[in-house]
Amino acid sequence: MTECAIRHHTAQVESVRLHYVTAGAGEPLVLLHGWPQTWWEWRRIIPALSERYLVIAPDLRGLGDSSCPLAGFDKRTVASDIFKLVHDQLGHSTFHLVGHDWGGVVAYALTHAHQACVRRLSIIDVVVPIGSPDELTWNGRRWHHTFHWQRDLPEALVTGRERAYLSWFYKNLAFNASAITEEDLLEYVRAYSQPGVLRSGFEYYRATHQDIENFNESMKVKLAMPVLAIGGENSRKTQVAENLKLLADDVRECIIDRCGHWVPEEQPEALARALLEFFAESS
């Protein structure tokens, strides 16, 4: 995969300072990361995407090198940050949108609020929380959701042990546990060891009950634009598409073979191909 010039920026979006990177030129394509990650998760697919698009990859509020507010981690509020950055400050009236993990949930919230602005949407290996919290946690089998919901306890237990804690997820939710390298791990640990970032990450989970209430209302109006649902063969599989068919009228499904949850890092070439083919259909 070819190299590209990645440019770093900061923008003040009301009370939040957002760090974001850009690469390439042309029609804008926005990439939203998940937990416990930052914009860095996209580094292996940005070169291919930037050959055709202006790639914009922010650090979500409270994560990476963006600032850490005390509140506002429901996904509608996080989505509003991104819309104000891309639409209001950078001046893009329409754009394509991709989200992975919590970034996928933010992408759904943004798209639902601004359907005329999002040309095509892709959500990667996550389900939008609707129904009840039990459905999101697979009736408790996804233990970390329940743990992260607890107030203050995760911070007390994980602070100073960020490497050990984050590594568990990178290894155990992967098909290829070596996909996230030592260099990558150091970057993620650096980001999540900064003041406020660990707490902010847990707040994304603590906002889930509000998200479910919001999205149970949002799903009454389905998305109209094409949506690409991507699941890792060894992770969410068909769950992404099954979930999105409740939320959108035009859902296409893609399963990435030999891949766990960390799709952009485990199978960057396959993911880049799938996204480029999907977005090219709108040209």
Kindly compute the dihedral angle of the four CA atoms of residues 188, 32, 199, 112, in this order, to the nearest 10 degrees.
-170
Which residues on adjacent β-strands are paired with residue 96? 29
**Nearest CA among 106, 127, 96 for reference residue 247:** 127
Task: Provide CB contacts within 8 A for 207, sequence distance 6+.
Answer: 73, 74, 75
Active site residues: 101, 205, 261
Tell me the residue length of the chain: 283
Residue 36's Cβ-count burial label (10 Å; 0-12, 13-18, 19+) is buried
- Those residues whose C-beta lies under 8 Å from the C-beta of residue 12, and which sit 6 or more positions away, are 18
Q: How many CB atoms within 10 Å of residue 201?
A: 26
Q: In whole angstroms, what is the distance from residue 39 CA to residue 44 CA?
A: 11
